Amino acid sequence: DTGVSQDPRHKITKRGQNVTFRCDPISEHNRLYWYRQTLGQGPEFLTYFQNEAQLEKSRLLSDRFSAERPKGSFSTLEIQRTEQGDSAMYLCASREGGYTGELFFGEGSRLTVL
């Protein structure tokens, strides 16, 4: 297993289009996180899954954003009707076991909305 992988690495889209990002966590990790990072800022928490259950969502996650983790394996993050303010790096991380464990991050998916 080579770690957390995210796809696509880069996405350029026009305002109003829908985009979907995929995250494949480390296989034995049951906890999965999505973060958003804009230039010069720290990663902002978006949502958290334990297995297939989405247990917490940030207020940052408007109703245009939806995340799923079917079967508790890979996860998708969809953004509908994209806006220029959605331009950011979307990071996925996974963690084994409890809250004290290391978060393993993917390389991220960079979204540019024109």
Partner 1 sequence: AQSVTQLDSHVSVSEGTPVLLRCNYSSSYSPSLFWYVQHPNKGLQLLLKYTSAATLVKGINGFEAEFKKSETSFHLTKPSAHMSDAAEYFCVVSPNTGGFKTIFGAGTRLFVKA
Identify which of residues 25 and 43 has a Cβ nearer to partner 1 in the complex: 43
Identify which of residues 37 and 80 has a Cβ nearer to partner 1 in the complex: 37
The minimum distance between CB 18 and partner 1, in angstroms, equals: 26
Token pair belonging to 69: 């983790």
- Contacts of residue 94, defined as CB under 8 A and 6 or more positions apart, other chains included, come to 4, 25, 26, 29, 31, 32, 33, 103, 104
> Residues interacting with partner 1, by CB under 8 A?
33, 35, 40-45, 48, 50, 55-56, 58, 91, 93, 98-100, 102-103, 105-108
Q: Which amino acid is at 51?
A: N
The minimum distance between CB 57 and partner 1, in angstroms, equals: 10
Identify which of residues 17 and 62 has a Cβ nearer to partner 1 in the complex: 62
Within the chain, where are the H helices? none
The minimum distance between CB 79 and partner 1, in angstroms, equals: 21
d(CA 41, CA 79): 21
